[in-house]
Amino acid sequence: MTLEGPLEAALSRLAETDVLLVALDFDGNISPHVDDPSGARPLPEAARAIEQLAALEGTSVALVSGRAIASLVEVSGVGDDVLLSGSHGGEYRMEPGAPPLALSAEELDVVDRLGAVLHDVARQHPGTEVESKPAGHALHLRNADADTALDAQHVVRRRVLAELPGITARPGKDVEEFSVLAATKGDAIVRLRDHVKASAVFYSGDDLTDEDAFRVLGDGDVGVKVGAGDTLAPFRVPSPTEVADVLVRLVELRSAVVRSR
């Protein structure tokens, strides 16, 4: 299988690199978006490609998600050889059994107060839902009707800004997320790249927060935006199905390079 011209050429060059890091957003990238976040699963072709890439010499795979690590482990089903960054660069699993995130008592207090505000907004906006994470909370708007979702978005932004100044806001697609940590997916890419000593990085993702990751990519790296919307990524595919195609092709190209060494 080969892909369209420019992306195929970029992947071929990428596959030649010394140490490759393949970093992937989870939801909307290797797993189609679903109404119930706990029901999300990677596409089988993507899951297989991840397993194959992670097994190759000089090649590491990382999932970089807004989900908490615990949730990411549960839905992704990836092996221990896949690195994880959760909570938008706030949490890491660089090796199996790594300790969970430690927050100060002050930070935990802010997380609690934030949760109270979001639950309050959710109660007044039917269909919206709070997802709790170790360092913050997210208000999901996907299952509310359009007017309710829009009002909830305004109210939650205004209240958090007024009641919890200094907190980091991460607006996403159908989600308003807030965290006591200011880390981004860009920080995650920088840290993962350094951890595996990667000479080139592949990254793909579909949401606004993935732009932080695209921003830290450089010459020789490959960024792929999934779906519509402005992006810093040089390449774009329509959906997770095509992300799986890209990963399958990357397995073919990288395997050939590794075998010939």
- For binding to Mg ion (CB under 5 A), which residues are involved? 25, 27-28, 206-207
Token pair for 161: 């800004």
Our CA dihedral for 58, 59, 60, 64, rounded to 10 degrees, sits at 140
Q: Residue 210 CB, nearest distance to Mg ion (Å)? A: 6
- Identify whether the C-beta of residue 136 lies closer than 8 Å to the C-beta of residue 178: yes
With respect to Mg ion, which residue has the nearer C-beta, 129 or 207? 207
With respect to Mg ion, which residue has the nearer C-beta, 28 or 42? 28
Residue nearest to Mg ion (CB): 28
- Identify whether the C-beta of residue 47 lies closer than 8 Å to the C-beta of residue 8: no
Q: Residue 23 CB, nearest distance to Mg ion (Å)? A: 12
SS3 (DSSP) at 153: helix
In terms of Cα–Cα distance, which of 177, 194, 223 is closest to 92?
194
Burial class (CB in 10 A: 0-12, 13-18, 19+), 118: buried
Judge whether 25 counts as a catalytic residue: yes
How large is the angle between the packed helices 5-15 and 240-259, nearest 10 degrees?
40
Candidates 18, 25, 212, 230; catalytic one: 25
With respect to Mg ion, which residue has the nearer C-beta, 15 or 22? 22
With respect to Mg ion, which residue has the nearer C-beta, 206 or 211? 206
- Identify whether the C-beta of residue 224 lies closer than 8 Å to the C-beta of residue 236: yes
Catalytic residues: 25
